[in-house]
């Protein structure tokens, strides 16, 4: 299990989505939505990601959007194991 933590400093952000990339590298299309993390409340500051393999590397990114924005604004983590 990994606990991803963040702090949204832009108070106008209303949509949060947490995504994962297995292996920590790859194409843009290799990013997947973390189960249960598609509509995170802007007041939440962490999310538990479970069912991960201990011998795998993962990278996470948070999609933070303001109302009316269609283009994602990503904040990416370092590669973690």
Residue-wise pLDDT for 1-60, tens only, equals: 788 888 878 888 888 899 998 876 666 668 899 999 988 888 888 899 998 888 888 888
Structural domain containing residue 8: 2-76
In CATH, what number is assigned to the domain containing residue 60? 2.60.40
Higher per-residue confidence, 64 vs 25: 64
Closest CA to 34 of 18, 46, 22: 18
Q: 76: part of which helix (H) or strand (E)?
A: strand 74-76
Contact between 11 and 43 (Cβ < 8 Å) = no
What token pair was written down for 72? Answer: 């994602």
For the chain, how many structural domains are there in total? Answer: 1
Contact between 20 and 49 (Cβ < 8 Å) = yes
Residue 81 counted as domain residue: no
């Amino acid at each position: 299990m990994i606990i991803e933590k963040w702090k949204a400093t832009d108070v106008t952000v209303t949509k949060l989505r947490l995504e994962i990339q297995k292996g920590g590298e790859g194409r843009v299309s290799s990013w997947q939505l973390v189960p249960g993390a598609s509509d995170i409340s802007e007041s939440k500051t962490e999310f538990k990601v479970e069912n991960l393999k201990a011998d795998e590397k993962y990278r996470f990114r948070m999609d933070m959007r303001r109302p009316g924005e269609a283009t994602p604004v990503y904040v990416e983590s370092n590669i973690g194991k």
